[in-house]
Amino acid sequence: MVQRLVDYPSSDDSSSSRRSSSPHRGYCDPEQDMGHVRGGWSGHVGLVITGRSQQQLHALGLACIEAICPHIFGTRPCDEQRAEALDSPHISLTRAFYVQEHQIAGFMSELEASIRGMGALTVGFGALCAFANERGDREFVAVEVAAGRDSVQAVLERVDHVMERFGKPRFFADARFHASIVRLDTRDASPRSVQRAADRLGAQMDEEILRLPAARIDTLECVFGDRCFHISLNQ
């Protein structure tokens, strides 16, 4: 297993129930709480989707924007400040949390030790769904993990163990794993418009999503503010 520090790309999200834009059910919005807060660094851990699967999900996100923006904002094309197709999809395994700078090295060491021995996993995606962040000013269109959930859960249990050792909250018990593909600024949109648009779009695209090839995931990502660490799962 190899741990490395990488350049941090702009990221979004992540988890909740099928086609529900209700917050507090597993959705974590890393960008909402990045950086320093009260002397601490905001943290987030997730499984990174790369390669062909990343490209396919990004293309799906672009198609979603074209289809749903007129229903939410009444405009086409959509303003990039209002809607963005995410080019770095991932499956979140933590809520946003905070650590002191001197704790980062210890957290990463504990996380690497906890994950040791785990290999790469394969996931398949199912239905389109929508999630709101806890502040209620952003919503996300995502694809739910339909196959390989047990493998993701196994990684989550080890991440939760480290979170508990550092006095941080475990992940949402009732969360459904997913990868967000579109981020929407919904401060001036109807509260239910994203959910209605996702429902309408899902009826058209769910079959297409189910045809996507399974994604092989071999990297666990841990972000602290503008620092991004990757831990390989296949070594």
DSSP labels, 203-218: HHHHHHHHTSPPEEE-
Q: What pLDDT is recorded for position 13? A: 39
Percent of the chain with pLDDT over 90: 46
Q: What is the mean pLDDT of residues 28-57?
A: 76
Higher pLDDT, 124 or 129: 124
User: Tell me: the pLDDT tens digits for 3-13?
Assistant: 444 433 333 33
Alpha helices in the chain (DSSP H): 51-72, 104-115, 149-165, 193-210
Q: What pLDDT is recorded for position 222? A: 95
Residue 143: count other Cβ atoms within 10 Å of its Cβ.
26
User: Tell me: the pLDDT tens digits for 70-109?
Assistant: 656 555 555 555 788 898 899 999 988 999 999 999 999 9
Does residue 26 surpass a pLDDT of 90?
Answer: no
- Residue 136's pLDDT band, with cuts at 50, 70 and 90, is low
- Residue 194's pLDDT band, with cuts at 50, 70 and 90, is low
**Report field, pTM of the whole predicted structure over 0.75:** yes
Task: Assign 121 to helix, strand or coil.
Answer: strand
> What does the alpha-carbon distance between residue 89 and residue 9 come to, in Å, rounded to a whole number?
11
